[in-house]
Amino acid sequence: MRKEVVVITGAAGEMGQALIERLSEDGVNNILALDVNPIPKSLRARCQLALMGNILDEQLFGRLVSEFAIPRIFHLAALLSTRAEFTPEIAHRVNVEGTMNLLKLAVDQSGWLGIPVKFIFPSSVAVYGMPDLATKEREGAVREWEWNVPTTMYGCNKLYGEHLGRYYAEHYRQLAVDQAVHGVDFRSIRFPGLISAFTLPTGGTSDYGPEMLHQAAKGEPYACFVREDTRMPFMAMPDAIKALIQLEDAPKEALTTHVYNITSFNPSAGEMFAEVKRAFPNAQVAFEPDQRRQMIVDSWPVDQDDSRARKDWGWKPDFDQKKAFVDYLIPNISRRYADAAQPS
């Protein structure tokens, strides 16, 4: 018998770490964590198996198929938007070919298991592309089908990943005589920028939000790479993880699409700084826009309309802006850096 596991790719990333913690707190004890980077030791103990490996490695997938039964996949691995602009072709390989490999794994597994394999895929606000600031301002919160013209490689990759998922879920090998009865149950969430009290993102363009806060908590000055009036949606990490789990749990009949927006609060960079300053009055932030990264955030909408997620699977964030800062970010981040400063 093959051992049943829940696969999490990108397990050493921000979302991966938070998801492993949450699932293991919920009693899930059969996580197979996969990442190109080492998975932090504290998390390895919460996993059945923690593998260092590349989602482009076919041999690795061969091993997974032969050793494990995989009814659920959280495919979180990706190169984020800033990083991807430096190596767009590599980003395409990781973000698109990597996703294909996982979808193929899901389809194979569903054949073995005789049930649809659940495939949870984080997409992003980066799939949107607003042509100019006037349009961004005028359009406000965008709906899932609007402005799907991303300007970044990452945005293009995520948008295509959504389409691939829909294809595997609904049209895979549609001309084959031996139509598979099972297949992939593909569910995706377009996340806004995420802010965690415990980790920092690497290579994203919404990173100015978390960076500003973490630098202030460390008592270090920060040069913010976007203008003060820059606005985009954000969310506290626990809400993002809650959403992944809630969407995974939702009854299939309730879902009317494969891809859902969610959102929580959308301060301007200046308002974010004001929030940070309330907690850390000595915080120093200089607004020194980097024109090219600014262009990327300017192409993202001021907000996402999440009414479909609210209606279909009862989505509602626990943390609005105030609560995110006061109840989650500030206390945890203060403790984190106070602990780090303690001599061991």
Q: Which is nearer to ligand SER, 110 or 206 (CB)?
A: 206
Of 193, 238, 267, 317, the residue at the interface with ligand SER (CB under 6 A) is 193
Pair 141, 304: CB distance under 8 Å: yes
Is residue 196 part of the contact set for ligand SER (CB under 6 A)? Answer: no
Contact 120, 75 (CB under 8 A): yes
* Beta carbon of residue 180, minimum distance to ligand SER (angstroms, whole number): 32
Tell whether residue 16 is a contact of ligand SER (CB under 6 A): no
Give residue 173's identity as a one-letter amino acid code: R
- Specify the DSSP class assigned to residue 125: G
Residue type, 139: E
Of 206, 261, 263, 299, the one binding ligand SER by CB under 6 A: 206
Q: What residue spans of 262-302 are helical by DSSP H? A: 269-279, 291-298
Q: What is the closest distance, in whole angstroms, from the C-beta atom of residue 156 to ligand SER in the complex?
A: 12
Least CB distance to ligand SER at residue 191 (A): 6
Piece of 19-27, 98-106, 198-206, 305-313 that binds ligand SER (CB under 6 A): 198-206
Q: Distance between CA atoms of 173 and 195, rounded to whole angstroms? A: 39
Interface region with ligand SER, contact rule CB under 6 A, candidates 54-62, 202-210, 237-245, 303-311:
202-210
**Of residues 17 and 206, the one with the C-beta less far from ligand SER:** 206
CA distance 296 to 300: 7
205 binds ligand SER per the rule CB under 6 A:
yes
Lookup: tokens for 227: 């203008």
CB proximity list for 173: less than 8 A, separation 6 or greater: 179, 180
Q: Which of 9, 17, 81, 95 binds ligand SER (CB under 6 A)?
A: 81
Q: Tell me the residue nearest to ligand SER as measured from the CB.
A: 204
Q: Give the total of residues touching ligand SER (CB under 6 A).
A: 11
How far apart are alpha carbons 156 and 162 in whole angstroms? Answer: 10
Closer CB to ligand SER, residue 191 or residue 328? 191
By CB under 6 A, tell whether 126 contacts ligand SER.
yes
Residue whose CB is less far from ligand SER, 50 or 76: 76
Q: How many alpha carbons lie under 13 Å from residue 125 in its C-beta half-sphere?
A: 31
Binding range to ligand SER, per CB under 6 A, among 42-50, 53-61, 123-131, 222-230: 123-131
The answer to whether 225 contacts ligand SER (rule: CB under 6 A) is no
Distance between terminal CA atoms of the chain?
46
Question: Is there a contact between 200 and 211 (Cβ–Cβ < 8 Å)?
Answer: yes
Q: What angle do CA 28, 29, 32 make, to 5 degrees?
A: 100
Of the candidate residues 119, 121, 154, 273, the single one contacting ligand SER (CB under 6 A): 154
Beta pairing partners, 74: 8, 120
Asked if residues 260 and 289 have their Cβ atoms less than 8 Å apart, the reply is: no
Contact 334, 214 (CB under 8 A): no
Residue with tokens 């061991």: 344
Told to check if 261 binds ligand SER by CB under 6 A, we report no
Among 20, 70, 73, 80, binds ligand SER (CB under 6 A): 80
Among 9, 95, 124, 199, interactor with ligand SER by CB under 6 A: 124
Give the nearer residue to ligand SER in terms of CB position, either 37 or 256. 37
Which residues are at the interface with ligand SER (CB under 6 A)?
80-81, 124-126, 154, 191, 193, 204-206
